[in-house]
Structures are given as structure tokens and as C-alpha cells.
């Protein structure tokens, strides 16, 4: 083999080695690029997951705030309903007892008028006056009764501390203890309220 042939063989071997190295480099380079792409994909996926978690956290926060706002709204609505109910009840009570103060103020003069009409006299003219006063007293009493005023019954009944006030006591044979003997001053109730207890004498 000549020197030229030997050189040609060596050149071919070197070219094969270079080609092989180039192929290995390309393969390695391709694999590296694939790995980098995969890592980038993983990195992008991780960012999406973080974003999703942030959005889910915001949604949960908004739901909690909405729940609190709804609870506060329902409480305010219930409070408003209670206030409206109390106002309506107070209005009913006020209408029911609208005349209470006036009726209470009229009790004493009406009692005085009744006592005046019960006076005994031999004077004919005075008797006629008393008859007229009695008619007026009866009319006033009837008007007050229609509005809800009622005289408290006491004489001959058992003493009731809710509607009677004992002024004096007296022992009477044949009468049970605690029985009302005499009404010293009339008592009245207006509808279902006691505005003046009856002043009474009680047996002991």
C-alpha cells in the first residue's frame, strides 16, 4: 500500500469519527432541548395551578363575605320587623287607652256630684235641683261606661287586694273575717286597668 492510500484511509476514518460525534451531539442537543421544553411546560403548568388556587381563594373569600352580608341583612330585617311590630302594638295600646287620663280626671268630680245628688233635703226647690243633677250625673256615668269605665264591686264580697284597699277593720258577729262591710270610696277600672282601688271597711 502506498503512502497515498494510507493517508486516504486515515482521512476516511477521521471523517467517520467526526460524523459520529456530530450525530451524538445532535442527539444530545435534541434531548436537552426536549428536556428544556418539558421543564418549561412544567413551569407553565405550575403557574396556572397557582393562579387557580388564588382564584379559588378569592371565590371562597367572596362567598364568606356574601354569607356574612346576608346574615347581617336577615338580622336587620328581623330587627325592623320587631320594631314595626312593637310600634303597631304601642299604637293599638295608645288607641285603646286614649281617654284614660280624661276619664281618670273625671272620676273625682263625678263622685262628688253623686254624693251631692244623694243629699236629703225637705226643700222642694232643692229637691228639684237635685233631681236635675241626678239626671246629669246618670248621663255622665253612662257615657263613661260606654267608653270603658266600670265601678269596682266590693260591698258584701271577699276582700281582694288587687282591687280593694282596706281603710279600716271592724268585728261584726256572724260575718266572716275578710269580708267587705262598707265601701267608703268607690273604686274604678278602665277597661282592663285599675285606675282607682275601692276604699273599704273589712270585717276581722
SS3 80: helix
DSSP letters, 40-56, are: HHHHHHHHHHHHHHHHH
- What CATH fold (topology level) applies to the domain 97-203? Nucleotide Exchange Factor Grpe; Chain A, domain 2 (2.30.22)
* Helix (H), strand (E) counts: the chain: 3, 6
Mean pLDDT of 109-123: 87
**How is the chain split into domains, by residue range?**
1-96, 97-203
Taken as a whole, the chain contains a residue count of 204
Relative to beta strand 149-151, strand 198-203 is unpaired
Other beta carbons less than 10 A from residue 80's beta carbon: 10
Q: What is the mean pLDDT of the chain?
A: 81
Model confidence at 13: pLDDT above 90: no
Written as nine digits, the cell of 175 is 260575718
% of the chain at pLDDT higher than 70: 78
Q: What is the pLDDT of residue 117?
A: 87
**pLDDT for residue 50:** 80
* pTM summary value: 0.57
pLDDT (0 to 100) of residue 203: 92
84: pLDDT strictly greater than 80: yes
More confident residue, 144 or 1: 144
- Is a pLDDT exceeding 90 seen at residue 32? no
- 167 touches 147 (CB < 8 A): no
The confidence score (pLDDT) of residue 123 equals: 86
Amino acid at each position: 500500500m502506498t503512502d497515498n492510500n494510507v493517508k486516504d484511509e486515515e482521512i476516511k476514518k477521521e471523517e467517520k469519527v467526526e460524523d459520529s460525534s456530530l450525530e451524538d451531539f445532535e442527539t444530545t442537543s435534541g434531548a436537552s432541548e426536549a428536556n428544556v421544553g418539558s421543564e418549561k411546560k412544567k413551569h407553565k403548568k405550575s403557574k396556572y395551578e397557582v393562579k387557580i388556587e388564588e382564584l379559588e381563594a378569592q371565590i371562597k373569600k367572596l362567598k364568606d363575605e356574601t354569607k356574612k352580608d346576608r346574615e347581617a341583612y336577615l338580622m336587620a330585617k328581623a330587627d325592623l320587623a320587631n320594631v314595626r311590630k312593637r310600634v303597631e302594638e304601642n299604637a293599638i295600646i295608645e288607641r285603646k287607652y286614649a281617654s284614660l287620663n280624661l276619664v281618670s280626671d273625671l272620676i273625682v268630680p263625678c263622685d262628688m256630684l253623686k254624693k251631692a245628688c244623694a243629699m236629703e233635703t225637705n226643700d222642694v226647690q232643692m229637691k228639684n235641683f237635685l233631681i236635675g243633677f241626678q239626671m246629669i250625673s246618670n248621663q255622665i256615668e253612662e257615657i263613661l261606661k260606654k267608653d270603658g269605665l266600670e265601678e269596682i264591686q266590693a260591698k258584701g264580697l271577699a276582700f281582694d287586694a288587687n282591687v280593694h284597699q282596706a281603710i279600716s277593720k271592724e268585728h261584726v258577729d256572724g260575718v266572716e273575717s275578710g269580708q267587705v262591710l262598707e265601701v267608703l270610696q268607690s273604686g274604678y277600672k278602665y277597661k282592663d286597668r285599675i285606675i282607682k282601688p275601692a276604699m273599704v271597711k273589712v270585717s276581722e
